Amino acid sequence: MKALEKYKEWLQAPWADEATKAELRAIEGDVEAIRERFEGDLEFGTGGLRGIMGAGTSRMNTYTVRKATQGLANYIIQKGARQRGVALSYDSRNRSEEFAREAALTLCANGIPIHIFETMHPTPMLSFAVRDLGCVAGINITASHNPPEYNGYKAYWEDGAQVTIPDDENIIAQVNAIESFGDAKTMELQAAVDAGLYHIIGPEVDDHYFAELKKLIRHPEAIEKERENIKLVYTPLHGVGLAPAKRILDELGFTKVYVVEEQAQPDGNFPTVSYPNPEDPKAFELALKLARRVEADIIIANDPDADRLGVFLKNGDDFVRLTGNMTGCLLADYEISGVQETRGLSDHSVFISTIVTSNFAGAIARHYGLRFYETLTGFKHICGKLRELELKEPQVDYIYGFEESFGSSFGPYCRDKDGIAAVMALCEAVCYYKTKGMSLWDGLQALYQKLGYYRDINISKNFPGLEGKAKMAAIMDSLRKNPPKNLGGLPVVAVRDYLLKKTLDMATGREGVTDLPQSNVLYFELTDDAWVCLRPSGTEPKIKLYCGVKGDTEAEAAAKEAVMVEELNALMDSF
Active site residues: 144
Distance of CA 225 to the CA centre of its chain: 33
- Residue 537's CB is within 10 A of a number of other CB atoms, namely 13
Question: Which residues contact residue 56 at a Cβ distance below 8 angstroms, ignoring those fewer than 6 apart?
Answer: 6, 7, 10, 24, 36, 37, 38
Cis status, amide bond into 166, omega within 30 of 0: yes
Rounded to whole angstroms, how far apart are CA atoms 462 and 457?
16
Residue 403: C-alpha distances to residues 329, 378, 414 (Å): 10, 7, 15
Rounded to whole angstroms, how far apart are CA atoms 573 and 465?
17
Residue 169: C-alpha distances to residues 45, 60, 87, 115, 136 (Å): 8, 21, 21, 25, 16
Collapsed DSSP state (helix, strand, coil) of residue 216: coil
Q: Are 107 and 198 in contact (CB under 8 A)?
A: no
In DSSP terms, 503 is beta-bridged to 496, 512
> What sign does the dihedral 59-200-78-384 (CA atoms) show?
positive
> Which DSSP symbol is given to 574?
T
By the 10 Å C-beta count (0-12 exposed, 13-18 middle, 19+ buried), 532 is classed as buried
By the 10 Å C-beta count (0-12 exposed, 13-18 middle, 19+ buried), 177 is classed as exposed
Q: Which element (helix H / strand E) includes 447?
A: helix 440-451
Rounded to whole angstroms, how far apart are CA atoms 193 and 53?
28
The percent helix, strand, coil of the chain (3-state, each to 5) is 45, 20, 35
By the 10 Å C-beta count (0-12 exposed, 13-18 middle, 19+ buried), 260 is classed as buried
Rounded to whole angstroms, how far apart are CA atoms 416 and 160?
8
Question: Which residues contact residue 204 at a Cβ distance below 8 angstroms, ignoring those fewer than 6 apart?
Answer: none
Q: Are 457 and 564 in contact (CB under 8 A)?
A: yes
- Type of residue at 272: T
By the 10 Å C-beta count (0-12 exposed, 13-18 middle, 19+ buried), 215 is classed as exposed
- Cβ contacts of 210-213, under 8 Å, gap ≥ 24: 210/244, 210/247, 210/248, 210/251, 212/128, 212/411, 212/413, 212/414, 213/248, 213/420, 213/421, 213/424
Helix boundaries (H) for 343-418:
359-368, 379-392
